[in-house]
Chain A
């Protein structure tokens, strides 16, 4: 990796890149940065929090969705398939707005909602962000898991059954781990796609990384600098995700 960077051509490119960074640092206007650093850090935290929570919840939902499609009876497979099709067939932005503004516009017709225990949460924006991002991830990942479950060799399951292993144990010990390994390379890519989806929740008043950059632009009318820094931040996070998944892939048992 490092040696690959030491070829003269790449050294020149790195030099050019460094010059570009230097030019950005010197020629562009970064005077706003100290003032917005605390806000940017909290935005970064919200982005990462959203990413982690929705991926964990989304994956938990994707497993039954994939399973239902792979081996479920038709009355489970059909709704699971329909769900995945609808999620994958419509823009996430629209889904987010439907959940936040669409549901919001219905509240006043049902006064009891405002008296319920859930109301303090329903007033916040983050539950809608978490819900829409989770459903979206589950929709895409459900499809991946369907393929992964289907690809686990039948012989292994039959062997486990022959040993009298209970059904749930077969699933937990043999089927799920293998399907998970099968899906792992795709999972890395999907996680980056999920990262790229998080800025959309800025449109429903969540102050994550993108919203902070938008605020800087709105307050100071500086256009390029916050956007460049924002792009860099996403590049770094995506790079870390890639490295993380590579590490997990190398760690697990080989097939």
Chain B
């Protein structure tokens, strides 16, 4: 009995310790740096294209938002468990994910590419990856794509927790190629360590896996929030805020219908 009371008190303590100010929309981003979309500086502030877009969307939709870094691996459970309210972590809209969560309209769409060391003469398809070690980030469309299309050709598909770790191993020579998003990779090959490597091209499209672009993830049934965000996406695309932010980070457009 006494034990029950202690447990109840402890639970109550947890509850009050964590009770938040109401009505703030918590935007979940991945806690693993994913430059140039989201990365922390040494002061612990997150910045990047996606963070700025998130803030712009909140402003347009008149929402009070809080950027909440969450482990990428558990980001959908965190959304369903209501630790966060919206996922804005470069998450592609796929059929599999759409069974569990709802998505807004997409706010960017870029192809998937293969990156390999310079001079490797690799082609971005199963023939080019024959007998090679390919690295992908866990829980991404790239992992799903590689495991469907390259499983037989590649000698190994190595799954990393973060994109940066995959890039690091490409740089160190532990893997022969990386499959990832074209924009993130363009940023990588322009960095000092990315100097080793080049984008060899887009992988053949497979919409059932690669999805319909990147959208914000929400719990199913929260239609009001979804409508607000959809309107906000349309609004910032219309009034130039979207392009303004994009120009700060990219030299090309990253939106296609």
Stretch at the interface among B85-93, B105-113, B169-177, B249-257: B169-177
For A114, the chain B residues whose CB sits under 8 A away are 173
A30 and B196 CA atoms in complex are apart in Å by 45
Q: State whether A104 touches B133 (Cβ < 8 A).
A: no
Q: State whether A105 touches B168 (Cβ < 8 A).
A: yes
* Residue from B99, B139, B160, B175 having most chain A Cβ neighbours under 10 A: B139
User: Is the C-beta of B57 less than 8 angstroms from some C-beta in chain A?
Assistant: no
For B174, the chain A residues whose CB sits under 8 A away are 104, 107, 122-123
A207 and B77 CA atoms in complex are apart in Å by 22
Question: Chain B residue with minimal CB distance to A222?
Answer: B100
User: Is the C-beta of A203 less than 8 angstroms from some C-beta in chain B?
Assistant: yes
Q: State whether B138 touches A218 (Cβ < 8 A).
A: yes
Given contacts A101-B165, A218-B139, A221-B97, contact A108 B196 (CB under 8 A): yes
User: Is the C-beta of A214 less than 8 angstroms from some C-beta in chain B?
Assistant: yes
Q: State whether A104 touches B172 (Cβ < 8 A).
A: yes
CB distance from B22 to the nearest CB of A (A): 27
From 88 to 126 in chain B, residues with beta carbon under 8 angstroms from any chain A beta carbon are 96-97, 99-100
**Per-residue 0/1 for B124-168: is the Cβ within 8 Å of any A Cβ (1 yes, 0 no)?**
000000000100001100011000000000000011110001001
User: Is the C-beta of A60 less than 8 angstroms from some C-beta in chain B?
Assistant: no
**Per-residue 0/1 for A77-113: is the Cβ within 8 Å of any B Cβ (1 yes, 0 no)?**
0000000000000000000000001001101100000
From 192 to 251 in chain A, residues with beta carbon under 8 angstroms from any chain B beta carbon are 203, 205, 207, 211, 214-215, 218-221, 223
For B97, the chain A residues whose CB sits under 8 A away are 221
Binding site secondary structure of chain A: helix
Classify chain B's interface size. 20 to 34
Q: State whether B133 touches A205 (Cβ < 8 A).
A: no
CB distance from A227 to the nearest CB of B (A): 11
For A122, the chain B residues whose CB sits under 8 A away are 174
User: Is the C-beta of A46 less than 8 angstroms from some C-beta in chain B?
Assistant: no
Q: State whether A205 touches B196 (Cβ < 8 A).
A: no
User: Is the C-beta of A150 less than 8 angstroms from some C-beta in chain B?
Assistant: no
From 106 to 134 in chain A, residues with beta carbon under 8 angstroms from any chain B beta carbon are 107-108, 114, 122-123, 125
For A125, the chain B residues whose CB sits under 8 A away are 158
CB distance from B213 to the nearest CB of A (A): 20
Interface size on A, residues (CB 8 A): 20
Q: State whether A221 touches B160 (Cβ < 8 A).
A: no
Question: Chain B residue with minimal CB distance to A207?
Answer: B159
For B158, the chain A residues whose CB sits under 8 A away are 125, 205
Question: Chain A residue with minimal CB distance to B100?
Answer: A221
For B99, the chain A residues whose CB sits under 8 A away are 221
From 186 to 219 in chain B, residues with beta carbon under 8 angstroms from any chain A beta carbon are 193, 196
* Residue from B97, B159, B196 having most chain A Cβ neighbours under 10 A: B159
For A107, the chain B residues whose CB sits under 8 A away are 172-174
For B229, the chain A residues whose CB sits under 8 A away are none
CB distance from B133 to the nearest CB of A (A): 7
**Per-residue 0/1 for B24-53: is the Cβ within 8 Å of any A Cβ (1 yes, 0 no)?**
000000000000000000000000000000
Q: State whether A219 touches B100 (Cβ < 8 A).
A: no
CB distance from A112 to the nearest CB of B (A): 12
CB distance from B138 to the nearest CB of A (A): 6
A205 and B173 CA atoms in complex are apart in Å by 15
For A105, the chain B residues whose CB sits under 8 A away are 168, 172
**B159's contact among A101, A205, A220, by CB below 8 Å, is which?**
A205
From 122 to 175 in chain A, residues with beta carbon under 8 angstroms from any chain B beta carbon are 122-123, 125
For A101, the chain B residues whose CB sits under 8 A away are 165, 168
B binding-site residues for A, Cβ under 8 Å: 73, 76-77, 96-97, 99-100, 133, 138-139, 143-144, 158-161, 165, 168-169, 171-175, 193, 196
What are 26 sample pairs from A and B whose C-beta atoms fall under 8 A apart?
A101-B168, A104-B169, A104-B172, A104-B174, A105-B168, A105-B172, A107-B174, A108-B172, A108-B173, A108-B196, A114-B173, A122-B174, A123-B133, A125-B158, A203-B161, A205-B158, A205-B159, A214-B73, A214-B138, A218-B138, A219-B144, A220-B96, A221-B76, A221-B77, A221-B100, A223-B77
Known: A108-B173, A221-B97, A221-B99. 17 other contacts (CB 8 A): A101-B165, A104-B169, A105-B168, A105-B172, A108-B196, A114-B173, A123-B175, A205-B158, A215-B138, A215-B159, A218-B73, A218-B139, A219-B96, A221-B76, A221-B77, A221-B100, A223-B77
Q: What 6 A-B pairs are tightest by C-beta distance, nearest first?
A: A218-B139, A104-B172, A107-B172, A221-B100, A205-B158, A123-B174
